[in-house]
Amino acid sequence: MNLWRDIKGTLQPFWITLGYLFKKPVTIQYPEEKRTPPPRYRARIVLTRNPDGSERCVACQLCSAACPVNCISMQAAEDADGRRYAAWFRINFSRCIFCGLCTEACPTMAIQTTPDYEICNRDVLKLVHEKDDLLVDGCGKDTEYNFYEHSGIGVVNGRGGNEDEYGPVDPKSLMP
């Protein structure tokens, strides 16, 4: 009967909320209890290094271009052997929205997000991280990858010297 259904529908929620009143809340009390974010959590951004310890970033500006809020800026420079690096590299974390698009754009796996989410600061200028603050010792998520072993022709290895490359072809020869 409809009336019976209505009365039941009115009273049942009261019973349920009363039950919930005596359950333990699921809230995590933040400063005292902290949750461990999953490893792929997108928080503070770092610049990682190659397995051999050299800087990964080649100052290609791709992360800066991908960033929707334009909070990455850098100045490119070149070594004597033609290897590019960032003279300075700056991320403004007061603008960063932790979207992770920069890490997807990066060809060298240099820029990576970490699960360290506690970077609040009362002084907004302290949220502007320079290259020294960003650079870490370590490879981050990919411990094998080294961009210059696959690409970067003629900079580190000779032409065709990388693992998955052919040697240069002599266009004047007709031999197959």
Q: Which is nearer to ligand SF4, 97 or 124 (CB)?
A: 97
DSSP calls for 112-152: EE-S------SSGGGGEE-HHHHB-SS-TT-SS--HHHHS-
61 DSSP β-pair partners: none
Which spans of this chain sit near ligand SF4 (rule: CB under 6 A)?
45, 57-63, 66-69, 71-72, 74, 91, 96-102, 105-106, 108, 110-111
Residue 16 touches which member of other proteins, ligand SF4, none, C-beta under 5-8 Å by kind = other proteins
Of 13 and 171, CB closest to other proteins: 13
Selection from ligand SF4, other proteins, none that 2 binds (CB < 5 to 8 A by kind) is none
Cα 35 from chain centre: 20
**Span 6-45, contacts to other proteins by CB under 8 A:** 10, 13-14, 16-18, 20-21, 23-27, 29
Rounded Cα distance between 52 and 146, Å, is 9
DSSP state of 49: B
Comparison of 40 and 168: residue with beta carbon closer to ligand SF4: 40
Helix (H) or strand (E) holding 74: strand 72-78
Residue ranges in contact with other proteins by CB under 8 A: 10, 13-14, 16-18, 20-21, 23-27, 29
